[in-house]
């Protein structure tokens, strides 16, 4: 898996733009929506209770495309990926993020290091037989009371299916439904599991966002986020 994304590190953005061009949307539309969702998660899940600092980890961060949009969202941000070349590129562009290469066997952090660990569009690149271990490893590095969040493609959305079909590095992707993400959180001992669909409308106006939130329980949006407490 590391090798696949090593080979895309210099043209990852172009490959993503190519796969979503039919929608008329740019990659940053999706990245802004994900960053907004993560900022909201910090508030809704009360991660700053008592004024404590929030240390976050982006598992499978790739070339760090999301990181410029997360400025100020957390007190510190770490990122890791199995692709060494992607990590090299990420660290050149985001000097304030602490990057490490990881292996598919585990994350290079002590138990309970993070208040929040998230993985955006990563699980569908992990072999399904390793999904449980992937969730367990995320759980291990989050402190008790902290939060894990998985952001994934919604397999029920036909536009998402088309984008995955057109994306050169998604050929082996195995999409997981939100219900499967919830059950993986449950099987690995997480609690207070919540999921919401987003990226439903091609607009970021306050009205579009409000409509999207009202419909977020339905499997309509292009992606979903599933989060849970350790
Ligand atoms: C589609 S990219 C997403 C990158 C980034 N999260 C984003 O949203 O732009 C998937 C990334 O997951 C990484 N990956 C796949 N399996 C992984 C694993 N077991 N642990 C960590 N990273 C992994 C790949 O190397 C790749 O960089």
Q: What mean pLDDT comes out for the span 20-38?
A: 91
The string of pLDDT tens digits covering residues 81-137 is 999 999 999 999 999 999 999 999 999 999 999 999 999 999 999 999 999 999 999
Distance (angstroms) between ligand 1 centre and the Cα of 203 equals: 26
Mean pLDDT of 202-221: 94
CA of 125 to the centre of ligand 1 (A): 7
Domains of the chain in start order, with CATH, are: 2-229 (3.40.50.150)
Atom of ligand 1 nearest to the CA of 103: 20
Q: Is the CB of 164 under 6 A from ligand 1?
A: no
Sheet of 55-59: strand order equals 98-101, 76-81, 55-59, 114-120, 142-153, 223-229, 191-198
126 in contact with ligand 1, CB cutoff 6 A: yes
Instruction: Tell me the two tokens of residue 108.
Output: 């290079």
Model pLDDT, residue 1: 66
Contacts of 140 (CB under 8 A, 6+ apart): 107, 111, 112
The finding on whether 104 has its CB within 6 A of some atom of ligand 1 is yes
Question: For residue 9, is pLDDT > 70?
Answer: no
| Confidence check: pLDDT of 26 > 90 | no
Helix (H) or strand (E) segment spanning residue 58:
strand 55-59
**Is residue 50's pLDDT more than 70?**
yes
Residue 55 has pLDDT above 90, yes or no: yes
* pLDDT: which is higher, 9 or 190: 190
Q: Whose CA is closest to 217, among 167, 182, 176, 171?
A: 182
Characterise 183 by phi-psi region: left (phi > 0), alpha (psi -120 to 50), beta (else): alpha
Tens of pLDDT, residue by residue over 71-80, are: 999 999 999 9
pTM: 0.95
Structure tokens at 170: 């998604």
Q: What is the pLDDT of residues 126-181, one digit of tens each?
A: 999 999 999 999 999 999 999 999 999 999 999 999 998 998 888 889 999 999 99
| Most ligand 1 atoms within 8 A of CB, residue of 4, 101, 125 to mutate | 125
Q: What is the mean pLDDT of residues 207-212?
A: 94
- Is 100 touching ligand 1 by the criterion CB < 6 Å? no
Minimum-distance ligand 1 atom for the alpha carbon of 151: 8
Q: What is the DSSP letter of 184?
A: H
If we measure between CA atoms, which residue out of 204, 207, 199, 202 comes closest to residue 224?
Answer: 199
pLDDT at 215 over 70: yes
**How far away, in angstroms, is 122 Cα from ligand 1 center?**
4
């Amino acid at each position: 898996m590391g090798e696949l994304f090593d080979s895309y590190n210099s043209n990852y953005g172009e490959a993503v733009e190519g796969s979503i061009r039919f929608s008329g949307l740019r990659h940053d539309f999706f990245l802004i929506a994900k960053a907004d969702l993560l900022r909201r998660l910090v508030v809704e899940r009360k991660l700053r209770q008592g004024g404590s600092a929030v240390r976050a980890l982006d598992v499978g961060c790739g070339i760090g495309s999301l990181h410029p949009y997360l400025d100020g969202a957390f007190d510190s941000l770490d990122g890791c990926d199995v692709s060494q070349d992607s990590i090299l590129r990420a660290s050149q562009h985001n000097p304030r993020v602490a990057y490490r290469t990881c292996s598919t066997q585990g994350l290079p952090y002590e138990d309970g290091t993070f208040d929040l660990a998230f993985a955006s569009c990563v699980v569908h690149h992990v072999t399904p037989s390793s999904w449980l271990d992937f969730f367990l490893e995320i759980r291990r590095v989050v402190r008790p009371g902290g939060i894990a969040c998985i952001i994934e493609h919604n397999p029920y959305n036909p536009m998402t299916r088309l984008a995955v079909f057109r994306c050169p590095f998604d050929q082996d992707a195995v999409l997981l439904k939100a219900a499967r993400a919830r059950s993986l959180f449950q099987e690995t001992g997480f609690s207070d599991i919540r999921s919401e669909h987003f990226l439903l409308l091609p607009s970021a106006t306050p009205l579009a966002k409000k409509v999207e939130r009202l419909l977020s329980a339905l499997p309509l949006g292009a992606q979903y986020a599933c989060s849970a407490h350790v």
